[in-house]
Structure 1
Amino acid sequence: MKNYIDDLEKLFTLAENYSKTSIKLFKYSAVYKSANILSSLSVKFVLILLLLFFFFFLNIGIAIYLGEYLRKIYYGFFVVAGFYILITIFFLVFKDALIKTPVSNFIIRITLNNNHNDSHEIE
C-alpha cells in the first residue's frame, strides 16, 4: 500500500512541476511575442518618422519652388496643401484596404510566425 501512496505522491509532484513549467513557458512565449511585435513596430515607427522629416523638408522646397514659379510664395504652399487634402480624402475612402488590413495582417503574421517557431523550439 505504501508503494501506491509513494507513486501517487510522485505523480502529483510531477503534475505540479509540469503545470508550473507550462505556465512559465506560456508567460515567456507571451513576453517573446509581445517584444517581437513591439520591436518590429518600433523599427517601422523610426523609419516612418525619418521619412516624415524627409517629406516635410521636401514639401517645403516644392512649395517654395512652386511659389516662385507662380510669382507668390504662398501660392506654392496652397498648391501643396491642396495636394495633401486630396491624398487625405483618398485615404479616408480606402482606409481599410490601405491601412487597417495591412497592419492587422502584419500583427497576425508576426504572432503566427512566432507561434510556429515556438512549436519547433519545444520539439
Structure 2
Amino acid sequence: METNATTSENLNIFEKAENYTRTSLELVKLRTVAASADVLSTLISKIAVFAVVAIFSMFLNVGLSLWIGSLLGAYYYGFFAMSFVYLIFAIVLYTNQHRWIKNPIGNMIISSLLNDKKNNSN
C-alpha cells in the first residue's frame, strides 16, 4: 500500500509541477504581449509626432530660406544660408553627441528596464 500512496503523491506533485510550468509559460506570454503592445503603441505615437514636426520644420525652412533669399537679393542665397546654419548645427551636435544624446537615452532605457523589473517583482 505504501508504494501506491507514494506513487499517488509523486503523480500529484508531477501534475502540480506541470500546471505550474504551464501557468508560468502563459504568464510569460502575456507579459511579452503586453510589453510588445506598449512598445509598438509608443513607437507609433512617436513616429506620428515626428512626421508632423518634420513637415512643420520643412515648411519653416523653405519659408525662412525664401525670406532670407529675398533679403539677400537672390533666393538661392537663402538656401545656402540655411544649409550653412544646419552645417554648424550638425558639427555642434556631432561633437556633443555622447553628452546630449547617447548618455540620456541610455540612462532612460536603463531606468525604464529597472522600473519594469521592479514592477514585475511586486
TM-score range, shorter chain: 0.7 to 0.9
What does residue 37 of structure 2 align with? 35
Q: CA RMSD in A?
A: 1.8
Deviation at 1:70, TM superposition (A): 0.6
1:1-123, aligned counterparts within 5 Å?
A: 1=2, 2-120=4-122
| Equivalent position amino acid for 2:17 in 1 | A
Deviation at 1:31, TM superposition (A): 2.4
Structure of greater relative contact order (alpha carbons < 8 Å, 6+ residues apart): 1
TM-score by length of 1: 0.85
| Equivalent position amino acid for 1:97 in 2 | R
d(CA) in 1 for partners of 2:113, 2:35:
6
Q: Secondary structure at the match of 2:73?
A: coil
State the number of aligned residues. 120
Q: 1:113 to 1:37 in 2, by over 3 A?
A: farther
Deviation at 1:63, TM superposition (A): 0.4
- Which has the greater radius of gyration? 2
Deviation at 1:15, TM superposition (A): 0.4
Which segment is superposed worse, 80-89 or 107-116?
107-116
- Percent of aligned positions that are identical: 33
Q: 1:54 to 1:80 in 2, by over 3 A?
A: same
> 1:33–1:114: 8 Å Cα contact kept in structure 2?
no
Runs of 5+ unmatched residues, structure 1 = none
